[in-house]
Structure formats: structure tokens, C-alpha cells
Structure 1
Amino acid sequence: MRIVLASLSAALSVVSSQAAELVERPPQFVAIAFDNCTELERWQEWSDFAAELNRDGERVRFTFFVSGINFLSNAKKTLYQGPSQARGASRINFGGSADDVRKRVAFMNALHRDGHEMASHAVGHFDGRGWGAGSWNSEFTSFDNLLTNVVRNNELAPDEGFAFSSKDIVGFRAPYLAHSAGLYTTLAERGFRYDTSGTMPSNAWPEKRDGIWRFNLAEIKLAGSGRATLSMDYNFLVAQSGAAPIASRREQFRRQMLDSYLSYFRANYTGNRAPIHIGHHFSDYQNGAYREALKQFARSVCGLPEVRCVTYKTLADFMDGLQPEMLAAYRKGDFPRAIEPVLAGVGETVGAGR
């Protein structure tokens, strides 16, 4: 009897192993997103970069978490009032001149037509950790009104408004990543599909809670050190230099960010294929070193076999199409693992030869 049971157990083990092998390996998703998105020169730069990478076919699509304050010129700032704030108050700059707003809208329209995603970063960049659902709802209503009425508010020509509506905005990232329970109630009620205001381990697949996908920034290793940081440029700035630019170490900081992102990518690509989450700002941190690192990262990985550098909306579409059993298999890595890819243009890593 023991022999029979042992044989049956072995047979079931083989069947289970074969079943695991039948689960198809998922793509390696890479989501690259930007916050605030005020500066016109950055809109031009990232538009040009996207066009460069996509010249010979689709390689990358970005997500832009835009602050509604950018849709309102300085002269019209009193049209906005944030929750429990003075009228015309904001933690970040308003949109500049009416012509600045017009140019920003044109960049956003062109990118949207090319398949990039526009998402919400609220309006006045306030810390919402203490906000209830009512305050969040007020802020989202302000965002929608500023987007819808951008022509009237800034005295633009009738054809200079947005080519998309507030209903096309389905994703959110909170300023300072400062969220509260009231945020998620409001997101669900307003039909949002995902939020990116949390943090998680680097190899964690997204979870859907309260009807909202949580596409959180990753806790990753800071290359060449025993420390960790989040997969966002501001967090690198704090970890590397205490939030102060240090010109003499610019190249070291650039290389360390690139190596950190590449290590994150390699581990997930050869591991359980959890999506890669990278967040940057339009700010000129470390005199452009972080922008250079991000561009090199995108050039190296976007377009590789089985890699899809997509918007968060596209990632939400993929996640919504998964059966629970398939997602469980992905989380466990129950599929044939990939070998480490060859990355072009990477060069020497931080700490190499030491």
C-alpha cells in the first residue's frame, strides 16, 4: 500500500510539474511614467525621445501624471481653490502664460494621438494624507473642470483645447505618494482603473483592491551599496546626495541609477516577470543625470524580445484579462524561466573591478 501511495504521489508530482510547464511565460512589462509635467522643454525632450525610439516600430509608450494646475495660466490662478486652501494657492507653479498653456496642451494632444497616456496627479500638489473622500472628490472635480474648460479659462482659440476628455483619464498618482482611505473610495466612484501611490517589493505582481489596480513603485537595491530606495528619481536624489545636486559626482549618480534599474529589470525578466515600475519628474535633478540614465535604460530594454514598454492603461488591460489562476501562477513563477538578455550599450557597472 505504501509503495502504491508513493508511486501515486510521484505521478501527481510529475503531472503538476508538467502543468506548470504549460503556463505560458508572461511578457516583461515595463511602465515608465512622469509626474507634474510642467516644463515645456521637457515635453519637447520626451516627445523627441519617444519619436526616436519608435521610429522603426512601437518600442515605448509613456504615462504622464499631469497636475491640473498646468492647465491654468498664472493670470487666471484664482479660478482654482484646493481643499481647505486659499483661492489661487498651489504647492507648485501654475501654467505660466496663456501661450505656455497652449503649447503644453499641444504636446499632450500629440503624445495622446501617438498612444501615450495622460493620467492625473491631482491639481495643486497638496499632501492628501489627511483628506477624506469629500476633499479628494473636490480636487478631482477641479481637475476635470480645468481640463474641460482649458480654452475658456485661458482665452485660447476654439481648436486649441484638449483632444481627449476627462473620461479618458483612468489612472492616478498622488502628490508625495500621500494617500488616504478616502482616495480609494473616490477613485472607485469616479471610474478610475488604477492608482500608483503606494510601494511594494520589486518582484510583486499588482493587486486589485476595492476595484482599483495598485501599480506601486518598487523597493529596489541601490547598485554598489547595501542600501535600497524606490524606483523614482526623487528618491535616488535623496538616497545619493541628501536631495542636493553634487556636480562632481554627476556621472557616478547617473551610472548608479542606470545599474540599479538594469539590475531590477534583469531580476524580474529572469524571475517571475513582475512588471517594472519607474517614476520620474520633469525636474532637472542632478543636472540631467537621471534623464540620461532613464533614456539609456529605455534604449537598452525597450524592444527586447518579450519586453513591452507600455502605458499603465495598457498594463491594466492585460491584468483585467488574466484569470485568477493564471495570475497566481505568475506570482509563483510557475512557467519556464528566461535566460538573462543581452543589453546593448550598457558598459561597465558601478563597482566593476573592485
Structure 2
Amino acid sequence: MSDLTRRDAARLGLGVGLGAAAATLAGCGHGEPHSRTPANPRLHPDRPAAGADQALPRLIGDGSTAHTGQQPRQPAAPTRLEAGQRPPQFVIFSWDGAGEVGTGLFPRFLELARRHDATMTFFLSGLYLLPEERKRLYNPPNNPRGASEIGYLTNAHLKETLTYVHQAWTDGHEIGTHFNGHFCAGSGSVANWTPAQWRSEIEQARTFVKTWRTNTGWHDHPPLPFDYDKELIGGRTPCLLGQDNLLPVARELGWRYDASSPGGVQRWPSKKHGVWDLPLQAMPFPGHRFEVLSMDYNILANQSYNSTRAPSYNYPAWRTQATRSYLAGFHRAYETNRAPMYIGNHFEEWNGGIYMDAVEETLKQIADTKDVRLVSFRQFVDWLDAQDPAVLARLRSLEVGQRPPGGWSAYLRPAGRTKSTAGRPT
């Protein structure tokens, strides 16, 4: 029998969704800062020179957060693709929950990102900054006050989470939201929440981040170095459920994207209700005819059928299969339609930590590839919003695995503007 029950899955922040050709599961899991390495100019030629804004912080509210100036390690303002220019290959690594529970996974991937000049998105669960003794401050829709299907962090782990969220932002990463209690089943599931209930959940998640000093009493701990009301422009719902009623609220709040939809395909994105829809994607699954969703938990569900502690003799082959799956998805996009690739993760140690190893190996193998940009969702939608809508429509017309007819130079060149041998339009 599976050793990952629905409650266990919810505690780790997991969800349920559909893959491309077979039902699969989708999902979220629960030091000292390291010095940053210089930006790689070959990977990010538009990145400004190193050097963060040195303005003194200006505290916000109770001092849990602060204005600290422009976020460090951000690329220059994006520009439009030139006529006939091949688009970059964007890859976005994201982390659901983004809590550190003593496993060292949060700092491990911060360091990996620094070594490879990558930025990522961390979807922070609001409850990870609320002490358990104050849990009755949380009033979840359709559930008892203080209830949660993910565990509250210990005080020690809450402090570690604060440290690494602080470090993540100063390293250039985005802090999004994974909301709060992660309710996936029954009448209290997020699938049944109304727009008004989503608004309440979002406001509570923001409040827990903005008032952790009041709720913990740790007034000597450094503030988070951002204004969360401005930083928060998107999220991923628990279990990949409830997007339809969330999106109208997201638009009203000025959010720019949502990463909650399951079972997407590797094509260029479009908007829903005025918000960029950036779903987890189906990718090839070596050894199978069906595809798997681009998330660690979905691979686990298809390898060990929800068991997080399967017999260890399976681990080497499963690690290789997971890595090959991510890389197959990457190469399919990179060599054809250049659709952005979204990879979802959790800070977990399932099956001996093989899925963390697979994600790390994938990032290492693709980081130095020509035209690849390892960015956050925020940075990606900045790029999308800077493009000519007609060019984006042209990109969206390419199917999964379809190369641009005639090559990129012809495909993304306006009609009547092909090059002649004399270098003039013909």
C-alpha cells in the first residue's frame, strides 16, 4: 500500500492534476547566506554591472518587511525580438511552499543558482511565517479556524525560512505565493472556493508575510528586504485547483501571471482573464508512451505509485529516468518551437532525494546552452509584455515539437521583408 496518504501529500504541499496521456499526480514541500558569484555575461548580456542599491532600508508596517531599493541581480529592461530573430529558450524553475525544515535544500538550490547565474521563483506558503502558537489567526475558507493540511514550522525552521527567503530575494529570485493551508479534498477544498474566499486567502497570506515580527516577537531579526504588496504578482494554487475562481481576483489585484493550471503543453502562453497562464507542462517520460507533468511529484507518482520510501535498489534508474524526462522536455522545445519550459519542485527528500538530484543535474546540463535563459516567472512575463503582440501570436501558432516553417529568420520576419542578396528588402 502507498506510504504517501492524501494527508501526507497535503502536508508536503502536494496536489492532484492530470498528465497528457494518463492520470498523474501534481503538487508542495516544506544558514548562512553565501557570497554571490559574478553574473555570466554570455548567458545574460543585458544584465547590468554588479552592485546592489546601497540605500538604507525603510521599514514597512511593523518592520517585517522593508523598502531596500531596486532588487539586485536583475536583467536590463527587456527589448523586442528583432525581425527574424530566434527567440531565447526560457526555463523557469519554481518551488512550491519554499520552507526550510532543516534538510538544507533551500540553501543548496540558492547556491546552485548562484553558480549558474540562474534566477528562480519561490512560491512561499504564508503559514510558514506564522508560528503554530498563533495559528488561530488563520481563518481558512470552509475550514475550522487554525486548520491546515500542511504543518506549521517550528520556530527554528521559521527562522531558517526567513533567512533564506531574504537571501533568495537579494540573489535576484522572485517571491510568489503558494497561499496558506493547502486544502485539497472535501467540502473545504480550494477547488470549491469562491472569488471572495480566494481574496480572503490571499489577504491572509500577504498579512502573515508582512507581520511575522508581530506574530513571533522577533524584533531583532532582519526584515525581509521587499514590499510584499509590490513583490507579489503571481502564485500557484494548492493541488493545482481552483484557478477559474482565482483568476478574476488575481486580475483585480494586479497580478500578472498564474502558474496553477495543470496539464499544459509545451507551447507559447496566452492570457486568461487578462493574466498570463503559465501551466505545468506535459513532457516526454522515457520508457513510456504517455507524458508526465513537469513536476517532481508527478514523476514520483509514476515511478513508485506515491511511495516516498520505495526500495532503494530502484533509485539509480529512477534518478536517471527523471533527469532524462526533464532534458527530453527541454530539448523538444529548444530544438523546435522554443516554447518556455516550466519546472515545479518541492524541497523534499522522496526516494532518497533522487528528484532533487535530477533537478540539479538538469539545470547544470542546460545552463551553458546557447540562448538559454534561466529566469523567474516575473522576469519571463516582463519579457512577454515587451514583445510585439503579433510576434507572440506567431509563436503561439507553433504546435508542440513544431519547427518554424522556413526557419526562424523567415518565420518571424514581417511579410515582404525577406532579405535580398544585396541586403535590401524585396
Q: Same fold (TM over 0.5)?
A: yes
Q: Deviations over 1:211-256 (max 9, x none)?
A: 1101110011211221221001111111111101322211111111
Q: 1:79 aligns with which of 106, 130, 137?
A: 137
CA contact (8 A) 1:201 1:220 kept: no
TM-score (ref. length: structure 2): 0.70
Q: Structure 1: how far apart are the matches of 2:244 and 2:216?
A: 34
Give the AA of the match of 2:341: I
Q: What SS does structure 2 have at the residue aligned with 1:54? A: helix
Q: 2:336 aligns with which of 265, 271, 285?
A: 271
Aligned to 2:241: 178
Q: Structure 2: how far apart are the matches of 1:102 and 1:314?
A: 28
CA contact (8 A) 1:67 1:121 kept: yes
Deviation at 1:84, TM superposition (A): 1.9
Aligned to 1:35: 96
Q: Structure 1: how far apart are the matches of 2:113 and 2:246?
A: 36
CA contact (8 A) 1:219 1:229 kept: yes
TM-score (ref. length: structure 1): 0.84
Deviation at 1:200, TM superposition (A): 4.5
Q: Deviations over 1:149-168 (max 9, x none)?
A: 11000111254332222221
Give the AA of the match of 1:205: W
Give the AA of the match of 1:286: N
Q: 1:317 aligns with which of 371, 374, 382?
A: 382
CA contact (8 A) 2:237 2:243 kept: no
Whose Rg is larger? 1
Q: Structure 2: how far apart are the matches of 1:276 and 1:25?
A: 16
> Relative to 1, partners in 2 of residues 1:52 and 1:81: Cα closer, same or farther, differing over 3 Å?
same
Is there any run of 5+ residues in structure 1 with no aligned partner, and where? Answer: 1-20, 339-354
> Relative to 1, partners in 2 of residues 1:202 and 1:180: Cα closer, same or farther, differing over 3 Å?
closer
Whichever structure has more helix as a proportion of its residues is 1
Is there any run of 5+ residues in structure 2 with no aligned partner, and where? Answer: 1-81, 184-188, 399-403, 410-426
Alignment of 1:133-282 (within 5 A): 133-167=195-229, 168-244=231-307, 245-246=309-310, 247-282=312-347
Equivalences, count: 314
C-alpha RMSD of the superposition: 1.9
CA contact (8 A) 2:266 2:282 kept: no
* Worse-superposed segment, 182-191 or 44-53: 44-53
CA contact (8 A) 2:121 2:174 kept: yes
Q: Structure 2: how far apart are the matches of 1:37 and 1:221?
A: 27
CA contact (8 A) 1:23 1:335 kept: no
CA contact (8 A) 2:100 2:106 kept: no
> Relative to 1, partners in 2 of residues 1:256 and 1:236: Cα closer, same or farther, differing over 3 Å?
same
Aligned to 1:121: 178
Asked if residue 69 in structure 1 is aligned to residue 130 in structure 2, the reply is no
Q: Structure 2: how far apart are the matches of 1:305 and 1:104?
A: 34
Aligned to 2:407: 336
Q: What SS does structure 1 have at the residue aligned with 2:373? A: strand
Q: What SS does structure 2 have at the residue aligned with 1:296? A: helix
Q: Structure 2: how far apart are the matches of 1:192 and 1:251?
A: 41
Give the AA of the match of 1:82: P
> Relative to 1, partners in 2 of residues 1:27 and 1:248: Cα closer, same or farther, differing over 3 Å?
same
Q: Deviations over 1:134-185 (max 9, x none)?
A: 1101100101110111100011125433222222111110000011422111
Give the AA of the match of 2:84: V
Q: Deviations over 1:249-270 (max 9, x none)?
A: 1111111110011111111001
Give the AA of the match of 2:384: M
Aligned to 1:96: 154
